[in-house]
Amino acid sequence: MFWSEMHQSAMELALDIYGPYSMLVDTGPESGTWPGALRDKRRANYPSSPMMSSFFFSRSETIWGGTSQIQRNIVGERVLALPKEPKPAGGE
């Protein structure tokens, strides 16, 4: 939960710092200088720099790890012993 949200924030900051140059295809800081930079697994012929690819990947991390809201619910119920969320009234 921490890494996925931190990675998103770090990539947003990296793109903000690099400014309009971050949107260009084959530009960006040297490899290995931002979180997730070594993840250069782009589709063939996809017009994206490694930095942009890492940014796009950071967006999906909170989903494929289970959404952050669901993870917080689980931690609250199981670790902090908070009451479970009420179920909707009516049908199942």
Residue 40's domain comprises 2-79
Query: Considering the domain boundaries, does residue 8 fall inside one?
Result: yes
Does residue 87 lie within any of the structural domains? Answer: no
Domain count, the chain: 1
> ∠ CA 68-33-48 to the nearest 5 degrees?
75
Q: Is residue 62 part of a domain?
A: yes
The mean pLDDT value for 33-53 works out to: 62
Q: Is 88 domain-assigned?
A: no
Q: Is the pLDDT of residue 42 over 80?
A: no
**Choice between 50 and 18, residue whose per-residue pLDDT is larger:** 18
Q: Taking the model in full, what pTM does it have?
A: 0.55
Flag whether 41 is in a domain.
yes
Q: What percent of the chain has pLDDT over 90?
A: 1
Give domain status of residue 84, yes or no.
Answer: no
